Structure 1
Amino acid sequence: MFFGQKIHPLNFDYADTLTVAGDTVELIGRGVQLRVRCADVAEGCLRLRFENAQVDDSHQYSDAVLPEWREGRPVIARLDTETALFAAEAGRVELSTTQLRLERADFTLATVTAGIGCRSENLLLNFALSDIDGCYGFGERTKRLNKLGDSADCLTVDVVAMFRHTYSRDDYDPTYVAIPFAILKTGERFLGLFFDNPGRAILDAGKSQSGEFWYQSLGGTTDLYLVAGPSLAEVTRRYATLTGRAPLPPLWALGYHQCRWGYQYEAEFRELAAQFAAAEVPVSALWYDIDYMDGCRLFTWDRVDFPDPAALNRDLKAVGIRAVTIIDPGVKREPGYAVYDSGREQAAFCQTASGREYVGKVWPGDTVFPDFTLETTRDWWAGRLADFLRASAVDGVWLDMNDPATGYSRTEEMRFNHGAIPHDRYHNQYAHFMAMASRQACDRLDPEGRPFLLTRSACAGTQRYSAVWTGDNASNWKHLRMALPCSLNLSLSGAAFNGPDVGGFMDDTSAELLVRWHQAGCLFPFFRNHSIRHSRSQEPWQFGLEPLVAIRGAIRSRYRLLPYLYQCFFAHWRSGDPVMRPLLYHYAGPEYVNLDDQYLVGDALLVAPILHGEGQGPEIVRAGVKMQERAIRLPPGFWFDLNRGEWVEGGQLVSYAAALDELPLFVRDGAVVPYYAGPLHNSIMDLSTVELHLFCREKPARFEYVLDDQETRRYQAGAYGIAHISADSAGERLQVEIAESGAYPPDTVRFIPVVYGRPELRELEFTVNGRTVIRSLQTERREWLCRQWPVRA
Structure 2
Amino acid sequence: MFFVQQLSPSVRRVRLGAAGDVTDTRLPDPAIAEQGRRQLAAADPVACDDLAEAAAGTGVPLVALRREGDGSVTLEVTLGPGEHLYGAYDADAAAFDRRGDHVHLVTELHARGRHEIVDTCDLCDSGPEHLAEHELGLQIGAGRSSNYGELLVPFVISSAGWAIYVSSAWHGAELDLGAREPGVLRYTAPGGEADVYLFGPADIATLAHEFQLLTGRQPLPPAWALGFLQSRFGYENFDHVHRTIDRFETEQLPLHAIVYDVQWVEEHINLRWDPENFPDPAGNLARTAARGVRTLVITEPGTTRAASNYAGGAAVGAWATDADGNEFDSEQWYTKRGIAKYRGIEASPGALLNVFRDEPGEWWYGQHRPLTEQGVDAWWLDLNEPEDVNHTVHFPNTDWPASRELVSGDEVRGIFAIAQQRLFARGERLHTDRRPFMLSRAASAGSQRYGAAPWTGDVASTWADLAVQPRLLLTAGICGMPLTGSDAGGFNGDPGAELYVRWMQAASVLPIFRAHGYMCDREPWSQGEEALAALRPALLLRAQLLPSIVSWTRQALTEGTPLARAMLLGPLGTEPGSDDALAYAADTRWADCHDQWFFGPLLVAPVMQAGVTHRRVELPAGTEWVDLWSGESHAGGGSIEIEAGLDVLPIFLPRSLALVVDPEPLAGRGQHWPPPDLHVWSYAEAGATATTTFYLDDGVTRLHEQGAYCLQRIAATGEVCDVE
| Common topology (TM > 0.5) | yes
CA distance in 1, matches of 2:395, 2:361: 16
* Residues 480 and 405 (structure 1), Cα distance of their counterparts in 2 relative to 1, 3 Å cut: same
Gaps spanning 5+ residues in structure 1: where? 1-25, 27-35, 86-92, 96-100, 620-627, 728-733, 735-760, 770-793
From the superposition, tell whether residues 653 and 431 of structure 1 become closer, same or farther in structure 2 (CA, over 3 Å): same
Whichever residue aligns with residue 493 of structure 1, its letter is: C
Give 2:680's aligned residue: 692
Deviation at 1:171, TM superposition (A): 12
Take 2:328 and 2:417, find their aligned partners in 1: how far apart are those partners?
Answer: 17
The 1:412/1:696 distance shift into structure 2, 3 A limit, reads farther
Q: Distance in 2 between matches of 1:415 and 1:566?
A: 39
Alignment of 1:720-735 (within 5 A): 720-726=709-715, 734=717
Selected match of 2:80 from 125, 130, 146: 130
Distance 2:712 2:215 in 1: 29
Answer yes or no: is the 8 Å Cα contact 1:192–1:228 preserved in 2. yes
Match of 1:109 in 2: 60
Contact 2:12–2:198 (8 Å) recurs in 1: yes
- The reply to whether residue 52 of structure 1 matches residue 18 of structure 2 is yes
Contact 1:154 1:177 in 2 (8 A): no
Alpha-carbon distance, 1:54 to partner: 9.0
| Cα deviation 1:45-79 (Å, max 9, x = unaligned) | 21112213399993234211013322244356477
Q: Is the 8 A contact 1:669 1:699 kept in 2?
A: no
Shift of the 76–467 alpha-carbon distance from structure 1 to 2, 3 Å rule, reads closer
Higher helix share: 2
Q: Is the 8 A contact 1:632 1:653 kept in 2?
A: yes
Match of 1:496 in 2: 482
Counterpart-to-counterpart distance in 1, 2:41 and 2:144: 40
After TM superposition, list the pairs within 5 Å mapping 1:271-286 onto structure 2: 271-286=243-258
User: Match for 2:415 among 429, 436, 441?
Assistant: 429
Contact 2:145 2:460 in 1 (8 A): no
Q: In 2, are the aligned partners of 1:132 and 1:184 still within 8 Å (CA)?
A: no
Change (3 A) 1:170 1:177: farther
**2:651 is the counterpart of 1:654:** no
Higher alpha-carbon deviation: 718-727 or 282-291: 718-727
Q: 1:173: how far off?
A: 10
Of residues 609, 612, 623, the one that matches 1:612 is 609
SS in 2 for 1:686: coil
Q: Which amino acid aligns with 1:49?
A: R
Stretch deviating more after TM superposition (642-651 or 411-420): 411-420
Is the aligned partner of 1:394 residue 2:376? yes
Would you say the 8 A contact 2:145–2:459 is kept in 1? no
Select 1:370's aligned residue among 335, 353, 366: 353
Q: Does 1:357 align with 2:327?
A: yes
* Corresponding residue number in structure 2 for 1:315: 287
Cα RMSD over matched residues?
2.6
The residue number in structure 1 matching 2:53 is: 94
CA distance in 2, matches of 1:146, 1:312: 48
1:148-207 per-residue CA deviation (whole Å, 9 max, x = no partner) reads: 111211111224998772579789998512111111112xxx322111112132221111
Structure-1 separation of matches of 2:593 and 2:319: 46
**Structure 1 pair 111–445 and aligned structure 2 pair: CA distance change class (3 A):** closer
| One-letter code aligned to 1:286 | I
1-side partners of 2:482 and 2:246: how far apart? 32
User: Cα 1:417–1:178, aligned 2, differ >3 Å: closer, same or farther?
Assistant: same
User: Displaced runs of 4+ in structure 1, greater than 6 A?
Assistant: 54-57, 160-164, 167-174
Letter in 1 for 2:376: V
Question: Could you say which residue in structure 1 is the equivalent of 2:449?
Answer: 464
Residues 505 and 223 (structure 1 numbering): CA distance in 2 closer, same or farther, change over 3 Å?
same
Instruction: In structure 1, give the amino acid aligned to 2:197.
Output: Y
Give the aligned residue type for 1:136.
Answer: Y
Is the 8 Å Cα contact of residues 290 and 296 (structure 1) preserved in structure 2?
Answer: no
Identity percentage of aligned residues = 28
Match of 1:417 in 2: 397
Q: 1:641/1:705 Cα in 2 relative to 1: closer, same or farther (>3 Å)?
A: same
| Cα distance change of structure 1 residues 369 and 286 upon mapping to structure 2, 3 Å threshold | same
**For 1:353-752, what aligned pairs fall within 5 Å after superposition?**
353-362=323-332, 363-364=334-335, 365-390=348-373, 392-406=374-388, 410-417=390-397, 420-446=406-432, 448-465=433-450, 466-533=452-519, 536-586=520-570, 587=584, 588-602=586-600, 604-614=601-611, 619=612, 628-636=613-621, 637-681=623-667, 684-687=672-675, 689-696=677-684, 701-726=690-715, 734=717
| Partner amino acid, structure 1, of 2:189 | S
Shift of 1:722: 2.7
Q: How far apart are the structure 2 equivalents of 1:361 and 1:102?
A: 48
2:187 aligned with 1:198: no
CA distance in 2, matches of 1:280, 1:397: 27
Quick one: distance in 1 between partners of 2:263 and 2:679? 42
Q: Say whether residues 1:339 and 2:309 are aligned partners.
A: yes
Checking the alignment, whether the CA contact within 8 Å between 2:3 and 2:14 is kept in structure 1 is yes
What is the letter of the counterpart of residue 454 of structure 1?
L
* Alignment CA distance shift 1:384-1:725 (3 Å): same
Cα distance, 1:357 vs structure 2 = 0.6
Bigger-Rg structure (1/2): 1
Query: Structure 1 residue 226: deviation in Å?
Result: 1.8
Q: Where does 1:204-243 land on structure 2 (aligned, <5 Å)?
A: 204-228=176-200, 230-243=202-215
Does the 8 Å contact 1:159/1:472 carry over to 2? Answer: no
Q: How many residues align?
A: 658
Distance 1:287 1:132 in 2: 45
Determine helix, strand or coil for the equivalent of 1:294: coil
Higher strand share: 1
Q: Secondary structure at the match of 2:639?
A: strand
Deviation at 1:235, TM superposition (A): 1.5
Q: What SS class does the counterpart of residue 287 from structure 1 fall into? A: strand
Mapped pair 1:180 → 2:154: yes
The answer as to whether partners of 1:473 and 1:504 remain within 8 angstroms in 2 is yes
2:541 maps to a residue whose letter is: S
Aligned with 2:219 (options 227, 241, 247): 247
Q: Distance in 1 between matches of 2:273 and 2:80?
A: 58
How far 1:719 sits from its partner (Å)?
3.6
Cα distance change, pair 211–377 in 1 and its aligned pair in 2 (3 A): same
Q: Which has the higher contact order (CA 8 A, sep 6+)?
A: 2
Which letter does structure 2 place at the counterpart of 1:584?
Answer: L
Structure 2: runs of 5 or more not aligned: 119-139, 336-347, 399-404, 571-583
TM value normalised by structure 1: 0.78
Which residue of structure 1 aligns with residue 108 of structure 2?
A: 157
Out of 545-554 and 130-139, give the one that drifted further. Answer: 130-139
| Structure-2 change in CA distance of 1:203 and 1:600 (3 Å) | same
Structure 2: distance between partners of 1:129 and 1:525: 33
Shift of residue 116 of structure 1? 4.1
User: Aligned with 1:404: secondary structure?
Assistant: coil
Following TM superposition, by how much is the alpha carbon of 1:452 offset from its aligned partner in structure 2, in angstroms?
A: 2.3
Secondary structure of the residue aligned to 1:245 is coil
Separation (CA, whole Å) in 2 of partners of 1:699 and 1:144: 41
Rate the CA distance shift 1:328–1:173 in 2: closer, same or farther, 3 A.
closer
Per-residue Cα deviation, 1:11-48 (whole angstroms, up to 9, x for no partner): xxxxxxxxxxxxxxx2xxxxxxxxx2111223522111
Q: Secondary structure at the match of 1:527?
A: strand
Distance across 2 between alignment mates of 1:119 and 1:126: 17
